[in-house]
Structure 1
């Protein structure tokens, strides 16, 4: 029970990685406040659960005043705040031709500015509890795919935010800030996205080892396991760090031998 009696706020927590983190936090003894955009998803998340340790708040965190209202709600529900998990994000394909300025600004607003606003709103309470922040980024933070240009820019900015605040907030307030960069994760939304791009229903069962050496991609629960460590007291003074959760290295990756002739 690494998170016993901790109060954890998770944005974008009704589905996918956020939901897996919420589930892991509950298993580890925490009380959770979960945010998302759609009330029907909140109802699905709450179905069959005791509300003694869970509260939901459906709102768009990019709207003015919502970060502050969400923090106030968490304090009103459970009396304090120990952990903020910034998981809410927009994933959308774009390249240099299709990324106009409005699209880029919207991507940055959701994936970078909103987490910053959440941290600002939460800081007084996290400073009081000597709590911490966990930002959920992406391996695309490092450069990204050609058709994930705006998304990659926003996640790269988030990574710099995590490293910068992980140093300054820990020194000045005792608040740790870390980030997880997940690789390819098999969320329900990813299954839908791939089907919409023409893949068959069970596309994830026949992956080439070029993209997945294990012949499978990560499960949301595997990301949540890393999150549980980083937000727990067991993590000690670790701050300003980025944990890459992927099955191959971001730098110096060894391609399968069958590609060697192609690359010569």
Structure 2
């Protein structure tokens, strides 16, 4: 049990990747503080896991005071914090000319400011136990997507904030990020449940499917564990090979067959 006697906070922990991470940590022995804005979802997850060893906290991640209360509630209940998983976030669609300032600030507030403030408030307690932070970023923070200006900018900020905290606060704590690709979460149903969109994804998903949230949770748990004791400032990409692709056409399809392959090799030699 890698997390026996450990205390883990997971923000956005009542659905999707966050819920999968909560269940993974609990299965490996941790006491988990499930932080989420939805009381009904919190009650479901904590009720499933057992209130004797786990705790739910209702948190609006746009409110620094609510984040402070989350930290205080964890310390009051368990007396320590070993891992903070900054998973809460929101998506966004629109070009710079199509989104307004209020929307931009909301995306930055949840996706970046909350990561900053939760980390700031947790680091003194993590430092006492040699703890860790895992930030859930995105493959969309590593390059640009059409029409996702705010989300791209926010997740890129999370990645470099991860690196900055990793070097500033080592060796007391470790700070890493996980960057999922397309994942079959409730919030992504508009993508994964749309046949037209999934057909467009088909050429770039090397694994030919979205990730299951449990597969992202496994990467989060690894980075939080002692198995990753010398991993610091790293962005672990969990996208099934999507970003391994250069973006060029699939020449295996276009040039299939021995005669076409010989012609292509001849062209390359020229």
TM-score (norm 1): 0.89
Aligned CA RMSD, in angstroms, stands at 2.0
Does the C-alpha gap of structure 1 residues 96 and 176 become closer, same or farther in structure 2, counting only changes over 3 Å? same
Which of 189, 202, 211 is 1:218 aligned to?
211
Moved over 3 A (4+): 192-195, 206-209
* Cα distance in structure 2, aligned partners of 1:64 and 1:49: 27
Query: For 2:96 and 2:143, how far apart are their aligned partners in 1?
Result: 14
SS of corresponding position for 2:208: coil
Say which one has the larger Rg.
2
SS of residue in 2 equivalent to 1:48: helix
Which residue pairs with 2:227 in the alignment? 234
Q: Which digits, 9 at most, give the CA deviation of each residue in 1:107-141, with x for residues without a partner?
A: 11110011100011111110111101000000011
Q: Is the 8 A contact 1:207 1:215 kept in 2?
A: no
Preserved contact between residue 182 and residue 245 of structure 1 (Cα < 8 Å): yes
| Structure 1 runs not aligned, ≥5 long | none
State the match for 2:250 in structure 1.
256
Using the TM superposition, name which of 94-103 and 121-130 deviates more.
94-103
Q: Which has the higher contact order (CA 8 A, sep 6+)?
A: 1
Structure 2, unaligned stretches of length 5 or more? 256-270
Correspondence 1:89 to 2:89: yes
TM-aligned CA distance change 1:112 to 1:208, over 3 Å: closer
Q: What is the CA–CA distance in structure 2 between the aligned matches of 1:214 and 1:49, rounded to whole Å?
A: 32
Structure 1 or 2: more helix by fraction: 2
Partner of 2:132: 132
Describe the SS at the equivalent of 1:170: coil
Gap change, CA 1:67 and 1:208, over 3 Å in 2? closer
SS at match of 1:32: strand
